[in-house]
Amino acid sequence: MPAPDRALFRAIYQELVEINTTDSVGDNTEAARAMAARLKAGGFSESELQLLVPADGPKKGNLVVRLKGTELRKPMLLIAHLDVVEAKRSDWERDPFKLVEEGGYFYARGSIDDKAMAAIFVANLIRYKQAGYKPERDIILALTSDEELGAGSKWNGANWLVTNHRALIDAEFALNEGGGGELKDGKPLLNRVQAAEKVSVSFRLEAKNPGGHSSVPRADNAIYELAEALVKFWKFQFPVRLSEITHGYFTRSAELQSGQVAADMRALAQATPDPQAAARLSASSALHNSLMRTTCVATRLEGGHALNALSQSATAMVNCRMLSGSSPDEVQQSIVNALGNPAITVTRLRQPIASPPSPLRADVFGPIEKLTAEFWPGVPVVPAMSTGATDSLFLRNAGIPCYGVSGLFIDPADYRAHGLNERIPVKSLYDGQEFLYRLVREMAGGG
Ligand SMILES: [Zn+2]
């Protein structure tokens, strides 16, 4: 990368992480404005930039930018969120809202999540513009608010843009966070491309009882009945079901493993998964377990109203992460069956938002495979499903396939997004910028 391009990128990255965009005291609109100013200084015109601020959410602004192409193909969308998770200065070793370069790392809140990709996209669009690049399709960039609050925020920018300004961001497919490279002992191990996410749905379980004085306990009891049912539920597991994506994940991951784990991953990926292999993999890794099946887990428990009274009600909250293709009705029925007590009521809390997996299309994976081989020879591209959710949820739900790909390599043991002293290796950041620069060009065609 030419030195002036790198210096500009670093300046954009620094400016972005130093604008506080937490929900409590931060301002996403300020960050969107700063990036609009950078793009304008880089050659974008007023008409190519849209600053979109919800009328009732002045700090929840979004920026949409369009690099015009020759329209031979449908546009592609790049999306990154501006907001960050809270960070308390007194808990951190350094000021979370100052970019600190130290010992080969950049430290700051958002240094990975998600201001790395946001700044990379802004800097790269400026590079395309200044090079006079004419893609075969429009390249749209959306920088958005409130990803970290997800569906819990009415100002979630991805959801808000899809609902209110669909035409501005409509695309054949989108690139987002959610993927990324893995380092092992400082060396690139694999390049993960996220093509699916599990879907969250929660239930309330309740046992009821007429209650009474605790000095004369009745035979039936809401707390004991709920507890007994929960213990049965604890032992219950949903069946193993692999998709195109998790099948690819286990097949590719087997190449990076050895011994029993490698053999089990291959046995799991057979047409009929080997149940013993599945049991060993799920017992040894909570992550592998949640990749191969729908999971549900009790997360809250409540009961009783006084120390000297029999409980009239005992409730538990259960959060499930469904594989796509499962229906919430099916999951609810499985919970009812597993509890083994029809007197316990099971109520769904909120209608889940569907998130269909995105197809492993050649025009997306081809360029990723090609450039991964060039940047990191021998490193496999591994399709992946996230157990949590990103903004890709809203886009996939609206029919825009999404791919989490960044080329940012991080050691999973050192993954500090949302945590203390968030950091990214300096080399990973610059390599990721160059990878995405080439990747987007490759996908957008033209010259
Ligand atoms: Zn994020």
91-130 residue pLDDT tens: 999 999 999 999 999 999 999 999 999 999 999 999 999 9
Q: Are residues 159 and 180 in the same domain?
A: yes
What is the Å distance from ligand 1's center to 304 Cα?
Answer: 39
Q: Are residues 110 and 240 in the same domain?
A: no
What is the Å distance from ligand 1's center to 345 Cα?
Answer: 36
pLDDT band at 30 (very low <50, low <70, confident <90, very high): very high
What is the Å distance from ligand 1's center to 402 Cα?
Answer: 14
Residues 37-54 have pLDDT tens digits of: 999 999 999 999 999 999
pLDDT at 174 over 90: yes
Query: Does residue 114 have a cis bond before it (omega within 30 degrees)?
Result: yes
pLDDT band at 325 (very low <50, low <70, confident <90, very high): confident
Residues 351-374 have pLDDT tens digits of: 899 999 999 999 999 999 999 999
Q: How many domains does the chain have?
A: 2
Q: Are residues 10 and 150 in the same domain?
A: yes
Boundary of a domain, candidates 329, 348, 367:
348
Residues 400-410 have pLDDT tens digits of: 999 999 999 99
Q: Are residues 17 and 72 in the same domain?
A: yes
What is the Å distance from ligand 1's center to 56 Cα?
Answer: 24
Q: Is residue 354 part of a domain?
A: no
Q: Are residues 73 and 155 in the same domain?
A: yes
pLDDT at 2 over 80: no
What is the Å distance from ligand 1's center to 49 Cα?
Answer: 23
Q: Are residues 116 and 184 in the same domain?
A: yes
Q: Are residues 144 and 203 in the same domain?
A: no
Could you write out the DSSP letters of every residue in 181-215? EEEETTEEEEEEEEEEE-EEEEEEEEEE---EETT
Q: Are residues 276 and 313 in the same domain?
A: yes
Cα angle value 219/221/226 (rounded, 5°):
135
Handedness of CA 425, 101, 128, 135 (dihedral sign): positive
- Distance between CA atoms of residues 13 and 23, nearest Å: 20
pLDDT at 4 over 90: no
What is the Å distance from ligand 1's center to 171 Cα?
Answer: 21
Q: Are strands 199-208 and 313-322 parallel, antiparallel or unpaired?
A: antiparallel
Distances (CA, A) of 164 to 54, 153, 158, 170, 352: 10, 15, 10, 12, 21
Helix axes 222-235, 328-339, angle to 10 degrees: 120
Boundary of a domain, candidates 348, 367, 400:
348
Q: Are residues 24 and 128 in the same domain?
A: yes
Q: Is residue 355 part of a domain?
A: no
pLDDT band at 415 (very low <50, low <70, confident <90, very high): confident
Q: Which residues contact 424 (CB under 8 A, 6 or more apart)?
A: 105, 106, 111, 112, 116, 408, 410
For the chain, what percent of residues have pLDDT higher than 70? 100
Q: Are residues 78 and 173 in the same domain?
A: yes
Domain of 299 in residue numbering reads as 199-348
Q: Is residue 238 part of a domain?
A: yes
What is the Å distance from ligand 1's center to 143 Cα?
Answer: 12
Q: Are strands 105-107 and 180-184 parallel, antiparallel or unpaired?
A: unpaired
Boundary of a domain, candidates 348, 369, 401:
348
pLDDT at 1 over 80: no
What is the Å distance from ligand 1's center to 113 Cα?
Answer: 5
137-172 core/surface letters (b: 16 or more CB in 10 A; e: else)? bbbbbbbbbbbbebeebebbbbbbbbeeeeebbbbb
What is the Å distance from ligand 1's center to 390 Cα?
Answer: 7
pTM of the model: 0.92
Q: Is residue 331 part of a domain?
A: yes
What is the Å distance from ligand 1's center to 84 Cα?
Answer: 8
Q: What's residue 107's pLDDT?
A: 98
